[in-house]
Amino acid sequence: MSLLSVSSPTLVPHQRLCDTAIYARLSRDRQRLSENVNIQIAECQAFADEQGWPVVGVFPDDDVSASKFSKKPRDQYELMLAAVRRGEINIILITEMPRLYRRMEELLDVIRLAETTKLRLLITTDGISYDLSTAEGIHAAINAVNNAMLESARTSKRIKRKQAVRAKQGKVHGGGRPYGYEADGLTIRESEAEVIREAAERFIIGESCRDLVCDFNARGIRTATGKLWRIENLQRTLLKKRYIGVREYDGQEYPAEWPAILTREQWEQMEARRLSRSHGWPKGKTGTRKYLLSGGLIYCGRCGGEMVGNGRTAESGRSAVLRYRCRRTDNHGNTIGCGKTFRIAAPVELLVKEAVLTAFDDPKIAVLLAPKGDEDQIRELVKTYEARKAKVDQLVTDYATGVLTREQFILAKQVAEAAIQEIRELLAQAQQQTALAQVPANQSIREAWDTAGLAWRQKIVGLVVEKVVIVPGGRPGSKTWRGFRFDPEFVRIEWKA
Ligand SMILES: [Zn+2]
């Protein structure tokens, strides 16, 4: 039995050590009772009076105004801990566990404090007490906080589940008016549906998207938002599964509640044509550009000029190779660089790729990518993250030096790691909010990298890299790196921020 009943005084050790601190907290969690701090304090005071415990301090905190991400410092909580450290407090009295702890690491602080101070009990006014001098009591306290954390995680999952249910019922996604339908997303707008059908039919028999777009724009046909059609725009529109009456969610297809405009057969014919890369589908930037760093990311370390992708064609005894080179003159014959620096593209790109992906593994990156205005919140999150990581290290030290027992250590470590994971998820969420990153759901940037197009990769590199400088020197062939004759020492990556 891990819980001690407060009403049974024989189970409270050291009866005379009853100096009690009342902690109250106005939390953001509005479903709970006794929201008002004064009510909480009164409840605790009555409870203490009943037990005949002297209340030596009352500590009310208000974190209602704290934002979603930031963990506003709990001033009164800190004052209370200071009193605990001074040996003034034996019992912390609260109305319920989540009042005291939203974060496991805070509980761990107190568990450690209990070992070196006169603090002994955490007690809630509903009569549950946690004896911090026993492994059972510690275990029970950890469980209680764990449960509170789980509950709050469930609440956010509930919202996701709702979205999934809507998708499975084929309900509209929301967002702007889809071309071919009214704003409700359900009613066909016949004039536009006719355009979709015409475009599909003409494309299937071999007309190019470019021709279609020219024709449509000339005939005064406009997009759903009243703009001129662009090639990519038409291509994307035509292949939307919405037009064959399919609601997509998380990679799954569900029958939509709106009527189709095209048949699945038409969709498949268009898709086949797109995949065969026949003329008409624009290759786009991804298909034509071969160089990750072209377009303002790579510079000559000798003259400072921008370098360009420059393939060397196969010649006798030499195979073709992609490389970057410093341009000496521009297309008009003006001198713009030294023209002396060359570097093979593949190892440079590999080096940059790995450095960038490693950078994205670092939670600090989230600050850089934060939407304008959210930077402070993200910075707070990162701080918390690092504090929690430090805490795990501290736990290891505490265990090694005998401050924690093995059981306490294992429990505490699990819990601290869960807390780290929690922050990781918040950071990942924040990161996904950046429109620029455009990482598919459930994928890390690292995972997305291999399947994404070059344009996306360039964008990702551009998010964190100011420029890559090719430093002159390093005799080719003198050093091998990843199977290339290449010396990474002579590439300098300059990071943003
Ligand atoms: Zn140069």
**pLDDT above 70 (res 322):** yes
CA 360-436-241 angle, 5° bins: 115
Q: How far is the CA of 341 from the centre of ligand 1 (A)?
A: 5
Q: How close is the Cα of 325 to the center of ligand 1, in Å? A: 8
Q: What is the Å distance from ligand 1's center to 483 Cα?
A: 26
What is the whole-number distance in angstroms between the Cα of residue 328 and the centre of ligand 1? 7
The H-or-E segment that residue 23 falls in is strand 20-26
The beta-strand segments (E) located in 327-404 are 342-344
Q: What is the largest CA-CA distance in the chain?
A: 98
CA of residue 472 to ligand 1 center, whole Å: 9
* Confidence check: pLDDT of 375 > 80: no
What's the whole-number mean pLDDT along residues 239-262?
88
Least confident of 35-49, 70-84, 152-166, 249-263: 152-166
Ranked by mean pLDDT, the top range of 158-162, 347-351, 392-396 is 347-351
Higher pLDDT, residue 222 or 273: 222
Coil vs helix vs strand at 25: strand
**471 CA from centroid of ligand 1 (Å):** 10
CA 299 to centroid of ligand 1, rounded, Å? 8
484 CA → ligand 1 middle, Å: 23
pLDDT attached to residue 134? 86
Inter-CA distances, 324 with 30, 162, 292, 469, Å = 59, 50, 10, 11
- Identity of residue 108: L
Q: Report whether pLDDT(61) > 90.
A: no
- Highest mean predicted confidence (pLDDT) among 6-10, 128-132, 270-274, 279-283: 128-132
Contact between 202 and 195 under an 8 Å Cβ cutoff? The reply is: no
Mean pLDDT of 39-61: 88
On whether the CB atoms of residues 94 and 80 are closer than 8 A, the answer is no
Query: What's the pLDDT band for 35 if we cut at 50, 70, 90?
Result: low
Q: Output the CA 344–ligand 1 centroid distance in Å.
A: 15
Average pLDDT along the chain = 78
CB 70 within 8 A of CB 102: no
CB distance 328 to 339 below 8 Å: yes
How close is the Cα of 479 to the center of ligand 1, in Å?
22
Give me the mean pLDDT over the 37-41 stretch: 83
User: How deeply is 186 buried, as exposed, middle or buried, from its count of CB atoms within 10 A (0-12, 13-18, 19+)?
Assistant: middle
CA of 336 to the centre of ligand 1 (A): 8
The CA 291 to ligand 1 mean position distance, Å, reads 18
Per-residue confidence (pLDDT) for residue 179, from 0 to 100: 95
CA of residue 469 to ligand 1 center, whole Å: 10
Ligand 1 center to 335 CA (angstroms): 11
Which pair of tokens denotes residue 331? 């297309």
Domain ranges across the chain: 4-159, 190-282
Q: In angstroms, what is the span from residue 320 Cα to ligand 1's centroid?
A: 22
Q: How many whole angstroms from 303 Cα to the centroid of ligand 1?
A: 4
| pLDDT digit string, tens, across residues 422-436 | 777 777 666 555 434
Radius of gyration of the chain (CA): 32
The owner of tokens 């019992």 is 91
Polymer length in residues for the chain: 497
The CATH T-level fold of domain 4-159 is Rossmann fold (3.40.50)
* Mean pLDDT of the 27-36 span: 52
Q: How far is the CA of 306 from the centre of ligand 1 (A)?
A: 8
Q: Give the residue among 23, 10, 38, 144 at the shortest CA–CA distance from 74.
A: 23
Question: By percentage, how much of the chain surpasses pLDDT 70?
Answer: 78
pLDDT tier for residue 378 given thresholds of 50, 70 and 90: confident
Q: pLDDT tens digits, residue range 259-281?
A: 999 998 888 888 877 776 543 33
Residue 315 has φ and ψ, to the nearest 5°, of -125, 180
Asked if the model's pLDDT at residue 392 lies above 80, the reply is no
CA of 234 to the centre of ligand 1 (A): 42
Q: Could you tell me how far CA 233 lies from the centroid of its own chain?
A: 28
Which amino acid is it at 217? N
Q: Write down the architecture of domain 190-282 according to CATH.
A: Alpha-Beta Complex (3.90)
Q: In angstroms, what is the span from residue 357 Cα to ligand 1's centroid?
A: 28
Structure confidence by residue, pLDDT tens digits, 78-116: 889 999 999 999 999 988 877 777 667 778 888 888 888
> How far is ligand 1, taken at its centre, from the CA of residue 288, in Å?
25
Cα dist from 176 to 35, 172, 240, 441, whole Å = 40, 11, 14, 21
**Residue 345 has which token pair?**
């593209």
| Listed residue (230, 231, 239) closest to 281, CA to CA | 231
Residues 192 and 359: their CA atoms lie apart, in Å, by 46
Q: Find out whether 129 and 5 touch, Cβ atoms under 8 Å.
A: yes
pLDDT band at 293 (very low <50, low <70, confident <90, very high): very high
Model confidence at 151: pLDDT above 60: yes
Q: How far apart are CA 272 and CA 274, in angstroms?
A: 5
- DSSP category for residue 128: E
Sheet holding 465-470, edge to edge: 298-300, 465-470, 491-495
How many angstroms does the Cα of residue 492 sit away from the middle of ligand 1? Answer: 15
Cα(323) to centroid(ligand 1), Å: 14
CA of 478 to the centre of ligand 1 (A): 22
pLDDT for res 67: 39
Q: Would you say residue 371 has pLDDT above 90?
A: no
Lookup: tokens for 89: 């407090």
94 contacts: CB under 8 Å, gap ≥ 6: 22, 23, 24, 40, 44, 100, 122, 123, 124, 125
Ligand 1 centre from 481 Cα, in Å? 24
Report the distance separating Cα 264 and Cα 315, nearest Å. Answer: 49
Structure tokens at 263: 């048949």
CA–centroid distance, residue 358 to ligand 1 (Å): 29
Cα of 326 from ligand 1 centre, angstroms: 5
d(CA 179, CA 195) in angstroms, rounded, equals 10
Report CA(329)–ligand 1 centroid distance (Å): 11
Categorize the per-residue pLDDT at 462 as very low, low, confident or very high, splitting at 50, 70 and 90.
confident
